[in-house]
């Protein structure tokens, strides 16, 4: 009896090739999904960190040159601030918690500006760094820097 080749189904090899091609396609799509989740998480954390750093910077800018000092009265422990380093000229570093950011920590660094031409006692160099850990590729930090001048 003669078998009509057009009425037969797929061969086992053809079926394995189709399954292999579909598996590669699904693996690619799933990798894109994972990359999208990681990117979204990193963006949310970065956004929270930038907002926290901007709040601290606005607080210091509104205080002006004379209010931009490392002092227990300005940065109270009741508000979550911890003075890490304090110098006699009221410069130094202050740590602050970052709400809404898992394992987030901020550091405010207040210094008098030292440029290539010398020391400027009427210009403060403010650096605010917010960093966070966790999740491997979603860890990171953000830094804001500004100068506050003493206007006579």
Neighbours of 36 (CB within 10 A): 10
Q: Does residue 37 sit within a domain? A: yes
Q: Does residue 75 sit within a domain? A: yes
Nearest-10 Cα torsion for 117, 123, 124, 126: -80
Q: Does residue 4 sit within a domain? A: no
Q: Does residue 130 sit within a domain? A: yes
Per-residue pLDDT tens digits for 19-72: 999 999 999 888 888 888 888 888 988 999 999 999 999 999 999 999 999 999
* CA-based torsion, 148, 149, 150, 152: positive or negative: negative
Q: Which long-range contacts (CB under 8 A, 24 or more apart) does 78-87 make?
A: none
Sheet holding 118-132, edge to edge: 82-86, 92-97, 105-115, 118-132, 140-149
Q: Does residue 67 sit within a domain? A: yes
**Helix residue ranges, H only, 1-149:** 12-67
Q: Does residue 1 sit within a domain? A: no
- CB contact set of 131 (below 8 Å; sequence gap of 6+): 49, 104, 105, 106, 140, 141, 142
User: Which residue segment(s) compose the domain that 24 sits in?
Assistant: 10-149
Q: Does residue 3 sit within a domain? A: no
Per-residue pLDDT tens digits for 124-148: 999 999 999 876 777 889 999 999 9
Number of domain units in the chain: 1
Q: What is the pTM of this model?
A: 0.78
């Amino acid at each position: 009896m003669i078998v009509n080749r057009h009425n037969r189904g797929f061969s086992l090899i053809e079926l394995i090739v189709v399954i292999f091609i579909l598996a590669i396609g699904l693996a690619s799509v799933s990798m894109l999904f994972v990359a999208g989740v990681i990117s979204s998480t990193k963006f949310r954390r970065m956004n929270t960190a930038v907002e926290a750093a901007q709040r601290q910077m606005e607080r210091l800018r509104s205080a002006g040159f004379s209010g931009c000092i490392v002092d227990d009265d300005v940065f109270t422990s009741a508000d979550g601030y911890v003075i890490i380093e304090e110098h006699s000229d009221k410069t130094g570093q202050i740590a602050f918690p970052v709400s809404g950011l898992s394992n987030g920590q901020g550091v405010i660094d207040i210094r008098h500006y030292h440029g290539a031409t010398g020391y400027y006692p009427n210009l403060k160099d403010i650096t605010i760094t917010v960093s966070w850990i966790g999740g491997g590729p979603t860890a990171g930090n953000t830094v804001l820097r500004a100068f506050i001048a003493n206007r006579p």
